[in-house]
Amino acid sequence: MNQLARRVGVGALVLGLAASILTVPALRAQAPGDLQAAVDAAYAKYKGLQEGKNADYIPALAKVDPNLFGIAVVTADGKVYAAGDVKTEVSIQSISKVFTMAQVIQEQGLESVEKRIGVDATGMRFNSITAVEGVRTVAGAGAPEMNPLVNPGAISATSMVKGATADEVWTKIIGFHNDAAGRSLSVLQDVYKSESDTNQRNQAIGALMLAYGYIKDNWQQAVDLYTRQCSIGVNARDLATMAATLAFAGKNPVTGTQVMDAVKVPGVLAVMATAGLYDDSGKWLYHTGLPAKSGVGGGIIAVSPGKFGIAVISPPLDDAGNSVRAQKAIADISEALGGNPYAAKAR
Ligand code: GLU
């Protein structure tokens, strides 16, 4: 090979390498058009799906339009890719558990939640009293099975948010949700009233948590604030932004606000992966690999760390309590975007 040919060869190699580095996609469907196409395709595919049923144990939830269907994806640059109704609000319900847990972790460290509440799966329903009670000896020894995403752990987490008065605690809880969503959210009063009138089971859980020392005082305040946080109104765009805040190391990519310390986010995601979709958490993780959280209001958020936050709202739920359309739409879109964090590319 003469000098020139060698130079051309090396140059081509360098160019080729540079090109391949530049084209390694952060997302498999990296062009905005592809991303929007994935969102549109899932919307079109599942819009007509008539499976599942609105939750009705909180009477106000039964009245929500079952046809409501909205999808939003938020990427690192704060762009929002949406389809369907991303403006209508539903109550956030259990998805709020993620952000109150995150707030306690932010304020008091990862250990606080691990030690006081625990981070293991319970293998039981989200509002199980057996999970709290079953492992106790007559003398009252033995730790309840719980984590911050089931009601006993979530109500305890709410009780851990520091503040001299209920108002002070609430301002912090709603403030954290606002920062993650990037706008000022408010409580859906009809849902709050409906749940307050019918939440005797959660009151029983709150009282037990006080009896066993997981709530230090005023369990009624903890249950009331928990009920209020579950009644916060959110649309699909809000939820996707909240998911994206967790996807991008605690920084809201739309507003640029650092909502929580980056080092604390993986702990939050781990609990979501363990217990985010009720009794189907393992199945969900098996298929998607995505830390996620659903709520009985019909929302699901899911996080592909470093890639995107996604949320879907559609009220009809399956037997496990997870939105039918939301699970399917998120799984499809994530698949199209290469969102599964366990799926390294073969080299
Ligand atoms: N506020 C609801 C409850 O405590 C939340 C349930 C949920 O979304 O899982 O029953």
Q: Tens digits of per-residue pLDDT, 280-302?
A: 999 999 999 999 999 999 999 99
In the block, tokens 């339009």 appear at 65
The residue type of 59 is P
Residue 310 included in any domain: yes
Residue 343 included in any domain: no
Confidence band (pLDDT; 50, 70, 90) for 22? very low
Range of the domain at 255: 3-337
Rounded Cα–Cα distance for residues 339 and 322 (Å): 20
The tally of domains found in the chain comes to 1
Lowest-pLDDT choice from 1-10, 247-256, 296-305, 321-330: 1-10
Verify whether ligand 1 is closer than 6 Å to residue 229 (CB atom): no
Calculate the alpha carbon distances from 12 to 2, 3, 6, 7 in Å: 15, 14, 10, 8
Residue 347 included in any domain: no
pLDDT at residue 346, rounded to an integer: 78
How far away, in angstroms, is 94 Cα from ligand 1 center?
A: 5
Residue 38 included in any domain: yes
Which stretches within the chain are classed as H helix? 3-23, 32-46, 59-62, 95-108, 110-116, 130-133, 151-160, 166-181, 189-198, 200-211, 219-230, 236-247, 265-275, 281-288, 324-337
| CATH number of the domain enclosing 145 | 3.40.710.10
Verify whether ligand 1 is closer than 6 Å to residue 315 (CB atom): no
pLDDT digits 0-9 by tens, 174-227 = 999 999 999 999 999 999 999 999 999 999 999 999 998 999 999 999 999 999
Residue 87 included in any domain: yes
Residue 78 included in any domain: yes
Confidence band (pLDDT; 50, 70, 90) for 136? low
Residue 345 included in any domain: no
Q: Are 318 and 289 in contact (CB under 8 A)?
A: no
Neighbours of 128 (CB within 10 A): 20
Atom of ligand 1 nearest to the CA of 297: 8
How far away, in angstroms, is 79 Cα from ligand 1 center?
A: 30
Average pLDDT, stretch 77-99?
98
Q: Would the CA dihedral through 231, 235, 241, 243 be positive or negative?
A: positive
